[in-house]
Amino acid sequence: QVQLVESGGGLVQPGGSLRLSCVASGTDFSMYRMGWYRQPPGKERELVAMITRDGNTNYGDSVSGRFTISRDNARNTVYVQTNNLKPEDTAVYYCYAKRLFTTITYWGQGTQVTVSS
């Protein structure tokens, strides 16, 4: 069973930055497509960013140009660098994993990001 543990969330002022981390355990990390989703209060969960094992990426429209996703396969870790944060970025950020060639997915418990002055 795959476990995903997020960290790095917190309170930040508008225009600030945070680096979120997600460590995966219990499986071969290279067999998973990794990503981040977020869920603002009262809204639906939405894509933040996704990355393949080869490093190909895609981003949600609301974060493109401000966020950068990366992964370190040797450390079983996926990151998202969040820059120029806005109040509307306030959300619970969830780590996501999908096993290649299957429909099996996993979710982390989430880490809170609050952008406020």
Chain centre to alpha carbon of residue 92: 10
Tell me which amino acid residue 15 is: G
Give CA separation, 66 vs 42, 57, 61, 80, 81, in Å: 23, 14, 10, 10, 8
- pLDDT per residue as tens digits for the range 18-58: 999 999 998 799 999 999 999 999 999 999 999 999 999 99
DSSP state of 85: -
Q: Give the contacts of 17 (CB within 8 A, at least 6 positions apart).
A: 81, 82, 83, 84, 85
- pLDDT per residue as tens digits for the range 64-105: 899 999 999 999 999 999 999 999 999 999 999 999 999 999
